[in-house]
Amino acid sequence: MYPGTFARIDPDRTAAVMARTGERLSYAELEDRSRRLSRLLYDAGLRRGDVVALFTDNALPAFEVYWAALRSGLYLTAVNSHLTVEEAGYIVADSGARALVVSAGLGELAAEVAAGATAAKTRLAYGGAVTGCDPYEAALDAAGELDVPELWSGSTMLYSSGTTGRPKGVRPPLPEHKVDEQDAALTLLARFFFDFGGDQPPVYLSPAPLYHAAPLRWCGTAQAVGGTVVLMDRFDAAQALEAIEQYRVTHSQWVPTHFVRMLRLPDEERQRYDLSSHRVAVHAAAPCPVDVKRAMIDWWGPILREYYSSTEGSGFTFIDSAQWADRPGSVGKPVLGVLRICDPEGNELPAGEVGTVYFEQEQAPFEYLHDAAKTEASRHSGHPNWTTVGDMGYADEDGFLYLTDRKAFMIISGGVNIYPQEIESALALHPAVADVAVIGVPNPEMGEEVKAVVQPSADAEPGDELAAELTAYLRGRIAGFKIPRSFVFAAELPRTPTGKLLKNEVKKIYG
């Protein structure tokens, strides 16, 4: 369960290849370069538990940084490359990153993030020159080849947005084993993904951004078992199908939006590619409409596998196509953690009743960095090893989980989590806005889209011009994917006498 193993037994095996260009990274190169980077970081003073921040597009050196951290006892914090400079800079600073690696492919944004990362004394850039960063290639060439003295395994510390608008670092405990020893979490992922048929190493297609938890971890898992990652620089429906044919992909992972876009291709386009190598297609990240999933199974066959988990790793459920056919809409039975459904007072509920979804593990698998209150809120009051990320759902008589809602009204658009309060806070400062509520509304392609309900100020004229003005106002203040797709204007928003916004009422009226 470690790439160095395959570098020794099959050094020329491809660890990763860019789907569009064919650029490749061998296991020998991945081992050598991650080893050199880990030495460079050690010589720069980083020690077990320190953080390396990665600000990148989908590029092969990202895997070198990933494995350098994991072989050095460090945390890797991958930062969403679609954030604004201020948003990305906050994560780099909040994580306490002592080193920052950026991709020149992100242009001036990478330079601005690097300029603000004053606490990161080591700043490197690959793929070209970036102001304020040392050249990555030259730094690796100058690094020593010796392993760092302590090869304890590291982990990822990724950020999950909170309802207050500021994302929070999800900090798991570091593994108590060496990097080349058995890892329980990787073993679990490999078992439920890569053990489905065949003895050859998997060829895994990754169409999603590496800053997301699932693509980053699944790519790492593929390499931990000696597979080849086929990395798309960006998702395109036809190009994804072409990549499956060209590289004889055996395994893949998707979000429902990918399915919708592939299903919308003309029939002749969908049928022109040879997908016979494709054995397992895993999907997660957002609820998949029943009709969409059924159409995908009709097209690809019963190779779809769905799981439910989170950046926090609170628990993990799994369901295959045959099980789903009997229970449409379910996200499966737990394979990590014991499922507990509880009412608002913390009492366990019987099958069929909706409540907060908790998972019980031997110990709580995470904490939120710099937020003891949020950490405490994720624990069951009577059982600190029961944790939740705020999802609501119910279990059937056989223990299969069905999700129903998000406690905090989180919006999931194209598999990306969007929290309304951050957008509301940004809009609240505009002089034409007296009050605002942001909700998610159905979108046939993205699952949900962002909608803003605005109470205009007394001297503001509601209409298309104000909507355009508010849209322009948000650009540069929040990431583009968070900007509302639509605005509606209301005379007044429903609030309690104490000022609490009745978001349920807003959704009933405008959702």
Degrees, nearest 5: CA angle 313-315-317:
125
Q: What are the Cα distances from residue 435, in Å, to 427, 430, 486, 491, 492? A: 9, 10, 16, 10, 8
Structural domains of the chain in order of their starting residue, each with its CATH number:
3-224 (3.40.50.980), 309-408 (2.30.38.10), 411-510 (3.30.300.30)
Residue type, 72: S
Between CA 324 and CA 183 the distance in angstroms is: 29
Q: How far apart are CA 237 and CA 495, in angstroms?
A: 43
The answer to whether 117 and 103 have CB atoms below 8 angstroms apart is no
Q: Output the six-digit token pair for 377.
A: 């809120």
User: CA-to-CA distance for 91 and 106, rounded, in angstroms?
Assistant: 17
CA angle 482, 124, 172 (to 5 degrees): 60
Rounded CA gap, 321 and 511, in Å?
A: 31
Enter the pTM of the model. 0.85
Best CA proximity match to 30, nearest among 219, 204, 244? 219
Query: Would you write out the chain's pLDDT as a tens digit for each of its 511 residues?
Result: 678 899 999 999 999 999 999 999 999 999 999 999 999 999 999 999 999 999 999 999 999 999 999 999 999 999 999 889 999 999 999 999 999 999 999 999 999 999 999 999 999 999 999 999 999 999 999 997 777 776 789 999 999 864 445 789 999 999 888 777 766 666 776 777 777 555 789 999 999 999 999 999 999 999 999 999 999 999 999 999 999 999 999 999 998 889 988 998 999 999 999 999 999 999 998 778 788 899 999 999 999 999 999 999 999 999 999 999 999 999 999 999 999 999 999 999 999 998 999 999 998 899 999 999 999 999 999 999 999 998 888 999 999 999 876 666 778 899 887 878 788 878 877 889 988 999 999 999 999 999 999 999 889 999 999 999 999 999 988 999 999 999 999 999 987 544 557 887 898 899 8
CA 426, distance to chain mean position in Å, is 24
How many C-beta atoms lie closer than 10 Å to residue 500's C-beta? 9
